[in-house]
C-alpha cells in the first residue's frame, strides 16, 4: 500500500504500488486495547501475524502519523478522528483485514489489475 505521491495530506488516496521502501509505504498497526489500561488478549494467528478479531488502526509512516480511513469506496489517510471508518480487524474465516464500520475487506480495484484499493 502506498500513499499517493508520498504527500502527507488529509484525504490523500492510498493505492497499490511497487515496493520502494519510502515512508509513504510504511505502516504501523496499533491495537486499540494497547491504548487502554488493561489490554485484551486475543488469539494470535501466527501465519498472518494478526490477533484474530482484535481492533487496530493502520498508521502511515509519513510524518503526521495519519490513519487509514475510507471515503466513499477509496482508502485514504486522515487525521485520527475516533470514527469506526479508521478501525480495522483481522477476520479469521476469510483471512482478510476488515473495517469495523461495515465489515468490508480491502480490495484491489478491477480484480487486482489496478492500483486503487
Q: Is the pLDDT of residue 83 over 90?
A: yes
- Residue range 2-112, CATH number: 2.80.10.50
Q: Return the closest-CA partner of residue 116 out of 65, 71, 57, 53.
A: 71
C-alpha cell of 53?
478479531
**Domain-by-domain residue ranges, the chain?**
2-112
- 95-109 pLDDT, tens digit per residue, is 889 999 999 888 877
Report which secondary-structure segment, H or E, holds 111.
none
Give ∠ CA 52-15-12 in degrees, rounded to 5.
Answer: 100
- What pLDDT, on a 0 to 100 scale, did the predictor assign at position 40? 34
- 18-53 pLDDT, tens digit per residue, is 899 898 998 888 777 764 443 334 677 766 788 889
Amino acid at each position: 500500500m502506498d500513499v499517493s505521491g508520498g504527500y502527507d495530506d488529509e484525504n490523500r488516496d492510498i493505492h497499490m504500488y511497487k515496493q520502494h521502501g519510502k515512508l509513504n509505504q510504511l505502516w504501523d498497526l496499533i491495537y486499540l486495547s494497547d491504548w487502554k489500561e488493561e489490554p485484551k488478549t486475543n488469539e494470535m494467528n501466527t501465519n498472518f501475524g494478526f490477533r484474530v478479531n482484535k481492533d487496530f488502526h493502520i498508521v502511515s509512516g509519513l510524518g503526521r502519523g495519519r490513519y487509514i480511513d475510507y471515503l466513499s469506496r477509496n482508502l485514504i489517510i486522515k487525521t485520527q478522528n475516533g470514527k469506526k471508518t479508521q478501525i480495522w480487524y483481522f477476520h479469521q474465516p476469510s483471512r482478510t483485514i476488515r473495517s469495523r464500520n461495515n465489515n468490508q475487506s480491502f480490495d484491489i480495484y478491477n480484480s487486482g489489475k489496478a492500483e486503487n484499493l
